Amino acid sequence: QQEIHLVNRPTGTPAIEDFKFVECDVPSPKENEVLVRALYISVDPYMRGRMNDTKSYIPPFELNKAIVGGVIAEVAVSRSESFKRGDLVLGNLNWAEYSVAKETKLRKIDPNLAPLTAYLSVLGMTGLTAYFGLLDIGKPQEGETVVVSGAAGAVGSAVGQIAKLKGAKVVGIAGTDEKLAYIKNELGFDETVNYKSENFKEELKAATPDGVDVYFDNVGGDVSDAVMRLLNNHARIPVCGSISSYNAEGQDVGPRVQPTLIKTSSLMKGFTVGNYASEFEQGRNDLANWLQEGKLKYKETIVEGFEKTPEAFLGLFKGINTGKLLVKAAEP
Ligand code: NDP
């Protein structure tokens, strides 16, 4: 079997050579452990941060060890009373065809309640990020204008729809016209703007005639600088991600936002979804109900083949995905 190791700490944009496929034995589970076979692997922008040897809310990946992330897997061998062969589980697992996990680190998932992949997307980490960041920090009110960047991605597409459910007017920013058409026509966003357009700032202004009450920031950089100029009084800015700067080699310096925050008495607050761990159950229930009622839609971009995992990860920075980007490692 194969594992995928990180073999270099990338500077700038990671390259395929920073990853290495390593042949190794299928590990054996000890007592209270299970051997699992990976089915779907989640590739996520936050993993870029773990490739740097810097202090963060989560430790860096170790060099020459398997990369670890969200995986849906099937139990192949169980030495745990809680799991049996064939059970489907979600865990933070190695990028490996097979890996061993402690029983306490796995959550059983039910493919009859939702499609398997949904547990890594709309009902998983990215759905919960949208839910808590928007509702706890953004607090959208009926009739307000909510702008979301990275709007056609996993987090952003859920943010826009939840804001619509709360009665807000939603403006989505993304990088291709196909993505804009998707969020407008299929997800019901009110307005869309392509941040790669030459007239981005003017188009953004035209799309927000009543200003911006909530800015859910997934990307940072120039896009966010432009949105920040349009804030209304008492705006709220959940700072979720900053993908435009994850591969930056120098210090990222932009227009200073403090004067805008002061003038508008706005709140800007960073968060990680882990802050809300004690409330995940509630979040999952609401998301699952909206899904069932057809009020929340989601898309996934699924790359076929375990061997494509590094390539898929790099694709996040090229915007290859609409909705959640996943790798199908094996047939369920
Ligand atoms: P997405 O599904 O949104 O995928 C990434 C998308 O980012 C791409 O499809 C691309 O779309 C866009 N993108 C890539 N490079 C740039 C750039 N330079 N400028 C602007 N947009 C760019 O990923 P997620 O939904 O998983 O994550 C979205 C953000 O939320 C990320 O910043 C991530 O780090 C963050 N996040 C934060 C969490 C938290 O706990 N705080 C948890 C989960 C995610 P396009 O074609 O539009 O450019």
Give me the pLDDT at residue 290, please: 97
Q: For 318, which DSSP code? A: G
- Residue 45 Cα to ligand 1 midpoint, Å, equals 6
Ordered by start, the domain boundaries in the chain are 2-121+299-328, 125-274
Collapsing DSSP states into helix, strand and coil, what is residue 17?
helix
Long-range CB contacts (within 8 A, 24+) of 201-209: 201/226, 204/147, 204/171, 204/173, 204/230, 205/230, 207/171, 208/145, 208/147, 208/171
Is 125-274 a CATH 3.40.50.720 domain? Answer: yes
Which uninterrupted H or E stretch holds 255? none
- Residue 31 Cα to ligand 1 midpoint, Å, equals 39
Contact 332, 74 (CB under 8 A): yes
Long-range CB contacts (within 8 A, 24+) of 85-94: 88/39, 88/116, 88/332, 89/34, 89/36, 90/119, 90/120, 90/124, 91/36, 92/68, 93/36, 93/38, 93/68, 93/69, 94/3, 94/66, 94/67, 94/68
Per-residue pLDDT reduced to its tens digit, 128-171: 999 999 999 999 999 999 999 999 999 999 999 999 999 999 99
* Mutational pocket test of ligand 1: of 48, 57, 155, the residue with most ligand atoms within 8 Å of the beta carbon: 155
Residue nearest (by alpha carbon) to ligand 1 atom 1: 153
Cα angle 182-128-41, degrees, rounded to a multiple of 5: 75
Quote the ipTM score. 0.99
Give me the pLDDT at residue 158, please: 98
Tell me, what amino acid is at 238?
P
Give me the pLDDT at residue 254, please: 84
Give me the pLDDT at residue 23, please: 98
Give me the pLDDT at residue 250, please: 85
* Length of the chain (residues): 332
Per-residue pLDDT reduced to its tens digit, 196-248: 999 999 999 999 999 999 999 999 999 999 999 999 999 999 999 999 999 99
Token pair of 260, please?
């805008």
Give me the pLDDT at residue 159, please: 98
Q: Cα–Cα distances in Å, from 31 out to 77, 94, 106? A: 11, 19, 15
Closest approach atom of ligand 1 to CA 244: 18
Measure the CA–CA gap between 163 and 230, rounded to whole angstroms. Answer: 18
pLDDT < 70: residue spans in the chain = none
Helix ranges, 229-295 (H): 258-264, 280-292
Q: Which residues line ligand 1 (CB under 6 A)?
A: 44-46, 125-126, 129, 150, 152-156, 174-176, 179, 218-219, 223, 240-244, 271-273, 316-317, 319, 321, 325
Pairing outcome for strands 324-328 and 300-304:
parallel
| Region 2-121+299-328: CATH code | 3.90.180.10
pTM score, whole prediction: 0.98
